Structure 1
Amino acid sequence: MPAGTLRYWAAAKAAAGTAEEPYAARTLAEALGAARVRHERSPEFARVLSRCSFLVDGAPVGTRDHSTVQLAEGGTVEVLPPFAGG
């Protein structure tokens, strides 16, 4: 099973209580599901995560079904909450 890093930014970082953590998952859906379980005591984490966009190894996920987004060994998932300004 591929292993890599979830990186949290802004409100996602605050809700997770960490800037990054490892994943061991084949798909983005599996990685996010495991993260929700790890942070199940934080309802804010689930709320923020539901509003985030994601980059997998630098490529935007967009509206693709997360169960179809394959993760690579040593990969990085950027968890990006909505940002104000621009």
Structure 2
Amino acid sequence: MAKVTVRYWAAAKAAAGVAEEPCEAETLADALAAVREQHPGELVRVLRRCSFLVDGDPVGTRAHETVRLTEGGTVEVLPPFAGG
């Protein structure tokens, strides 16, 4: 398992109650399951609308089970942003 940092932005940060936290996971799907378990409630709802960056690269439409995490990496949780 890789030790990564999960960073929350905007509504995800408010729902999680923290700006970032460590996580151990092999894939993005594993990391998201861990944070859902850690923060049941509002964050689970917010995550459904989020996009994700893994080590600075957009995940896009890739299946989360196929996105491997690397030791010391970062998962950015980005809710939709308003504005123009």
State the TM-score, normalizing by the size of structure 2: 0.98
The whole-number CA distance in structure 2 between the counterparts of 1:76 and 1:11 is 18
Partner of 1:62: 60
Partner of 1:9: 9
Instruction: Give unmatched runs, 5+ long, in structure 2.
Output: none
Amino acid at match of 1:29: A
Secondary structure of the corresponding residue to residue 33 of structure 2: helix
Q: Give RMSD over aligned pairs.
A: 0.6
Partner of 1:75: 73
Deviation at 1:44, TM superposition (A): 1.1
List 4+ stretches of structure 1 deviating above 2 A.
none
Q: Deviation per CA, 1:7-65, whole angstroms, max 9, x where unpaired?
A: 0000000000000011100000000000000012xx21111011000000000000100
Identical aligned residues as a percent: 73
Instruction: Give unmatched runs, 5+ long, in structure 1.
Output: none
State the TM-score, normalizing by the size of structure 1: 0.95
